[in-house]
Structure 1
């Protein structure tokens, strides 16, 4: 029997792979079936008359880039020279002077959860008032069958709205008279619904208490509402939502996603927005990639929460999965962002780290407090003394309160940190972190991520706003004296983030150089000069993955 590369990828990834996530606004992407060759997007393309920031080591700026068979074959200033790389006539696009950057890499997010959201998930991270919410939902409803739920689960907070509250039942009814609605913040609410949604939730198998104004309390009531919606999900729904998630990512200019898994679902009201079946949630994404419809790149981390020192699930993963396995569209990654239920340290954490090190796996853990990073890094040092982890690139994520001492200790054993602006939505200072300035000046391997979209937006330009201004969604300074420059921030989202991908990817992504994959983003405004508030409104007008156009507003024609 002949086994194809695609079959090996699919079956291997089922044993331990992951995928992408959910929500679309704006233009419909081109899925580029005709450009998918041997598992890769591979159109032939020349883009010219742009201000192309290569993000190479010299930060060169070009005006022309050419892509052939998914790889960059020319970067420079001469369109004629660029075209000589082709036998025929490649597609040529005039960028009309627009700013171009490499396709962004998000080194820590949850796009797979986003792609498994119930209903027609619709991001609200770019809404700044109740009127914006209503407009977003009206636009979404144009492409959603009547009677189907339009949902937003996580990724935003009412702090970003002028009214500093969730919309009401009446306001949602006005926007969605023919669709039930469900809007929830964070992991577990609070939430709100409209009249059609209220009817559904109150009649659910486990009834939900809904206020006259559509409000649903956070915690157990929101859990019951989310569970009721999840029970309606079909596999086809998940595939559709996966495509929506990828389309949204392309619209934002994020072309590579390092997914961090989910808490294992119990299928009870205790599950929150961050719960899913860790062993099945990737399957919709794998279907999309198998059919040649994947338009962004996915890298997969495996989350584990063992509670005893046998670390059974982690051990099974290590024995039955391959790290950095797949192709340049979808590939496995590491263990994380949890390696044990006791994420802050202790004997189970230590044993999980030890076994991962012995098997040669990269791991990633998350830090949210002023002390958890200390016990994590101390455990890393213990394992390093026993096994040696210098070359494994172990990571502590988020690090809002990490100190210079522990940055140096992590750096000394070959580790790195990824940074997230998640405090933008609900942080209130006075020093909300992460300490961007200290970390960039230190020189430890560092990258930028979104942690979207449960408690944080996926939109990278919102995180750019926070990292460069220190201001939260209310415009209040909550992270003083830790700002970095826009070029520094862009480097963290591109060139620097190669380090977190590992394997072959480190030489393929993150900058626009000959021989690398042709992923780039044409922006609607000049990232380097737009006023600070304008950063949050940056979008892609043209997103290219492997030389194939996967998002196009028509502005460059």
Structure 2
């Protein structure tokens, strides 16, 4: 069955072909709004992989080929862009991130670069000194496994909140872990939330399905809330105002442009955020193409979308046709759901944060109502359980499953027997290569060498199964920088360039595979490959321009590449 988007593209291509071959009248020649040449242009079109020039009219590509062929499209009104030796690719796609979270992270206390517990405490003290009495201090980005110096006291692998209590006795403090799957709160914040030292009231919150309050040997809360237990604190933190929303949105757009991102897969948002996006869409001011997953945390809202049907935008600006389910936690917080216990925490398997009965129900409803299901799974058990539910739904509904494109978000740690199932079932692993660079040095402590080698970040094994990998950063878990994630994809090293031979080097992506995971395959993961992802006649004019050739520079120089220009709809939105 050919999609409407595909039929439109074929018609547009046919018309463009006629125009390029001189079959239009002399009174109405095809002219370009913009032509681009003077550098290397990688198209991701296998039939025409490298071209010298591109012509654009009405936001679409009308020509991609030798530079000499541009002349027929140029008039006095055509803008001519000279790349001056730079490199152009299709617009890069953030394949899994949190758009508004990226913006809010720039408004709140940013802890992504702290390298010790004391440095985190010092940042909080600076914020408290500037705050009003009783004002909430909210931040994100700390990661105890990335600290150069561990906290003096650690309980179950986490620091305690003693330092925060000392510098902020009266201002409530809530700091989310970099992964977003745990947080640390001071005593003032816990008091407001009703989580008290050992008492009858607090006993009922000690254990909860899908979450955990970390407590010391006496039963007192240490300030760490893991997975679903975070909700006890989140419900008390201040709500966002319209002004704050607007600032966060503008910052997210600008940050995307500066990093060459032209489209963004927003991994799980609710009613309030979707209404915000629709208000910007109505004003034609989204700025970045958004592919939005409705969060499973709002089941009534998901059901509304099922009854309403997908929102498919032929201009590509705002598409809503997928649902995000959060099925386990993160490895850093030991919340990823494993088949065998954590190597560094005996008897602990992580958390099933969503009943698998819900995944089964959603997998069936997604096929019924035409929605893609995207399930967060990091641990090998979570991945296995989700694949089982997906497969059962596909078998029961073979007609509806013909082009389902169901995804598993992260797919970081897999049982070897489950790896080929991605290709066999057509399930898309939406992975973030930068997580390997950041996490691999300490991930071996969580999983042990055998599990790491056999099933962690296994990009080549997945590609060889026939799966298409969608790349990204999970911003604000990591910075949105796609160059860093591309480097991790092809080098399998930390951003400091270690180890010299790379971690499990046989699982590297080639440079072409890595670029495809950020362009054409990322577009495929959002049903957008007929509109974006490659530089072909008929597609939208979205491009990323780099100051060096990312396909040929020495590996050691990849991280020195900068985004020179970002073009969306044939309009330069950012220029360095």
Matched residue, 2:494: 472
When residues 541 and 207 of structure 1 are mapped into structure 2, their CA distance, relative to the original with a 3 A threshold, is farther
Per the TM alignment, residue 147 of structure 1 is displaced from its structure 2 partner at its CA by 8.2
Question: What corresponds to 2:519 in structure 1?
Answer: 494
Kept in 2, the 8 Å contact 1:243–1:288? The answer is: no
Structure 2 match to 1:267: none
- Check the 8 A contact 1:303/1:339 in 2, yes or no: no
Q: State which drifts further: 356-365 or 334-343.
A: 334-343
Say if 1:400 and 1:283 are closer, same or farther in 2 by CA, change over 3 A.
same
Residue 417, structure 1, aligned to residue 429, structure 2: yes
| 1:237 and 2:244 aligned | yes
Quick one: distance in 1 between partners of 2:62 and 2:142? 40
Question: What SS is found at the alignment partner of 1:366?
Answer: strand
Name the SS of the counterpart of 2:525 in structure 1. helix
Deviation at 1:74, TM superposition (A): 1.6
Work out the CA distance in 1 between the residues paired with 2:291 and 2:422.
24
CA distance in 1, matches of 2:148, 2:48: 39
The structural deviation recorded for 1:526 is 2.5
Q: Which moved more, 1:320-329 or 1:95-104?
A: 320-329
Q: Which has the higher contact order (CA 8 A, sep 6+)?
A: 1
CA shift at 1:298, angstroms? 0.5
List alignment gaps of at least 5 residues for structure 1: 1-42, 138-145, 167-179, 193-197, 209-215, 263-277
Q: Number of paired residues?
A: 449
Q: Does 1:380 align with 2:380?
A: no
Matched residue, 2:178: 185
- Answering whether residue 85 of structure 2 is matched by residue 62 of structure 1, we say no
Q: Does 1:483 align with 2:508?
A: yes
1:101 aligned to 2:85?
A: no
Residue 219 of structure 1: how far off its partner (Å): 3.9
Contact 2:105 2:476 survives alignment (8 Å): no
SS in 1 for 2:280: helix
Whole-angstrom distance in 1 between the partners of 2:41 and 2:111? 30
Measured in 2, the distance between the counterparts of 1:403 and 1:206 equals 39
Q: Would the alpha carbon gap of residues 219 and 414 (structure 1) be closer, same or farther in structure 2, given more than 3 Å must change?
A: closer
Deviations 1:278-302 (A, max 9, x none): 1102333333333333221101111
Q: CA deviation at 1:418?
A: 1.9
For residues 397-546 of structure 1, what are the structure 2 equivalents within 5 Å?
397-403=409-415, 405-421=417-433, 422-427=435-440, 428=442, 429=444, 430=449, 431=452, 433-454=456-477, 456-472=478-494, 475-476=498-499, 477-502=502-527, 505-546=528-569
CA distance in 1, matches of 2:507, 2:544: 28
Equivalent-residue separation in structure 1 for 2:254 and 2:486 (angstroms): 21
Q: TM-score, normalised by structure 2?
A: 0.67
Offset, 1:384: 1.7
Higher-Rg member (1/2):
2
Q: 1:226, CA displacement in angstroms?
A: 8.7
Displacement of 1:75: 1.4
Residues 495, 122 of structure 1: alpha-carbon distance in 2 compared, 3 angstrom cutoff = farther
With 43-52 and 528-537 compared, the bigger mean Cα shift is at 528-537
Structure 1 Cα separation of the partners of residues 552 and 138 of structure 2: 32
Distance in structure 2 (CA, Å) of the matches to 1:181 and 1:513: 48
Cα deviations by residue, 1:53-107 (Å, 9 ceiling, x for unpaired): 111124621222122111011212225x324335542222211101111111222
Q: SS at 1:447's partner residue?
A: coil
- Please tell me whether the aligned partners of residues 474 and 480 of structure 2 are also in contact (alpha carbons under 8 angstroms): yes
Question: CA 1:544/1:159 → structure 2, altered by over 3 Å: closer, same or farther?
Answer: farther
**3-state SS of the aligned residue for 1:256?**
strand
Q: Is the 8 A contact 1:302 1:334 kept in 2?
A: yes
Does the Cα contact within 8 Å between 2:192 and 2:236 map onto a contact in 1? no
Question: Match of 1:52?
Answer: 41
Correspondence 1:62-461 to 2 at 5 A: 62-78=51-67, 81-86=69-74, 88-115=76-103, 117=104, 120=107, 153-154=139-140, 157=143, 185-187=178-180, 218-219=224-225, 231=238, 233-262=240-269, 278-305=270-297, 313-325=301-313, 327-338=315-326, 346-388=356-398, 389-403=401-415, 405-421=417-433, 422-427=435-440, 428=442, 429=444, 430=449, 431=452, 433-454=456-477, 456-461=478-483
Bigger share in helix: 2
Distance in 2, matches of 1:224 and 1:379, equals: 27
Instruction: Label 1:164 to 1:292 Cα distance change in 2 as closer, same or farther (>3 A).
Output: farther
Deviation of 1:348 after TM superposition, in Å, equals: 2.6
CA deviations over 1:122-162 (Å, ceiling 9, x no partner): 8776x6989xx99xx9xxxxxxxx98999995467577787
- Given that 2:420 and 2:462 are in contact with CA atoms closer than 8 Å, whether structure 1 keeps it comes out as no
Q: Shift of the alpha carbon at 1:118?
A: 6.7
Where does structure 2 lack aligned partners over 5 or more consecutive residues?
1-31, 124-129, 152-158, 160-172, 196-221, 329-350
CA contact (8 A) 2:95 2:470 kept: yes
Instruction: Flag the 1:107–1:232 CA change in 2: closer, same or farther, 3 A.
Output: closer
Give distance in 1, aligned partners of 2:233 and 2:33.
44
Following TM superposition, by how much is the alpha carbon of 1:518 offset from its aligned partner in structure 2, in angstroms? 0.6
Change (3 A) 1:516 1:164: farther
